[in-house]
Chains A and B, each alone.
Chain A
Amino acid sequence: MERVTVPGTRRSTAWVVPAIVLLLVVGITVYVGSVPLDSSETRSLAPEVIFTSLWQHVQLVVVSTVLTIAIGVPLGVLLTRSRTKGAGAVVLAAANAGQAIPSIGVLVLLAMIFGVGFWMAVIALVAYALLPVLRNTMVGIRQVDRALIDAGRGMGMSAREVLFTIELPLAVPVMLAGIRVALILNVGVATLAAFTNAGGLGSIISSGIALNRMPVLIVGSVLTICLALTVDWLAGIAERRLRPRGI
Chain B
Amino acid sequence: MFLEYLTNNAPRLLLLAEQHAELVLISVAISAVLGIGLAFLTESMPRLRQTLLSVTGTLLTIPSFALFALMIPLLGLGVAPTVAALAIYGIFPVLRNTVTGIEGVDPAVIDAARGLGMGRGQRLRTVVLPLAWPVILNGIRTATIMLVATAAIGAVVRGPGLGELIFRGLARIGGANALNEALAGVIGVVLVALVLDLLFILIAKITTVRGLNV
Binds B, one of A39-47, A107-115, A138-146, A154-162: A107-115
Interface size on A (CB < 8 Å)? Answer: 46
Question: Any chain A CB within 8 A of the CB of B23?
Answer: no
Select from chain B the residue with minimum beta-carbon distance to A189.
Answer: B63
Q: Flag A223-240 by CB within 8 Å of B: 1 or 0 each.
A: 011001101100000000
Give the residues from 204 to 227 in chain A that come closer than 8 angstroms, CB to CB, to chain B: 205-206, 208-209, 214, 217-218, 220-222, 224-225
Q: Flag B43-61 by CB within 8 Å of A: 1 or 0 each.
A: 0000000000010011011
Secondary structure at the A interface, as helix, strand, loop or mixed, is: helix
Q: Flag A65-102 by CB within 8 Å of B: 1 or 0 each.
A: 00000000000000000000000000000000001111
Question: Any chain A CB within 8 A of the CB of B140?
Answer: no
Question: Any chain A CB within 8 A of the CB of B160?
Answer: no
Does B65 contact A105, Cβ atoms closer than 8 Å?
Answer: no
Interface size on B (CB < 8 Å)? Answer: 42
Does A104 contact B58, Cβ atoms closer than 8 Å?
Answer: no
Q: Flag A185-215 by CB within 8 Å of B: 1 or 0 each.
A: 0011111100110000110011011000010
Does B157 contact A102, Cβ atoms closer than 8 Å?
Answer: no
Does A209 contact B166, Cβ atoms closer than 8 Å?
Answer: no
CA A195 – CA B63 in complex, angstroms?
A: 14
Question: Any chain B CB within 8 A of the CB of A245?
Answer: no
- Which residues of B have CB within 8 Å of A7? 57
Seed contacts A102-B150, A109-B179; 10 additional CB < 8 Å A-B pairs: A7-B57, A100-B149, A111-B173, A112-B179, A188-B62, A196-B170, A205-B66, A217-B69, A224-B66, A229-B62
Select from chain B the residue with minimum beta-carbon distance to A106.
Answer: B186
For residue A95, give the distance in angstroms from its CB to the closest CB of chain B.
14
For residue A97, give the distance in angstroms from its CB to the closest CB of chain B.
8
Contacts between chains A and B (CB distance < 8 A), count: 132
CA A132 – CA B163 in complex, angstroms?
A: 24
For residue A8, give the distance in angstroms from its CB to the closest CB of chain B.
9
Does B186 contact A102, Cβ atoms closer than 8 Å?
Answer: yes
A interface residues (Cβ-Cβ under 8 A, vs B): 1-3, 7, 13, 17, 99-106, 108-109, 111-113, 184, 187-192, 195-196, 201-202, 205-206, 208-209, 214, 217-218, 220-222, 224-225, 228-229, 231-232
CA A102 – CA B155 in complex, angstroms?
A: 12
With most chain B CB atoms within 10 A of its CB, the pick from A17, A191, A221 is A221
Give the residues from 133 to 162 in chain B that come closer than 8 angstroms, CB to CB, to chain A: 142, 145-146, 148-150, 152-153, 156-157
Binds A, one of B7-15, B28-36, B189-197: B189-197
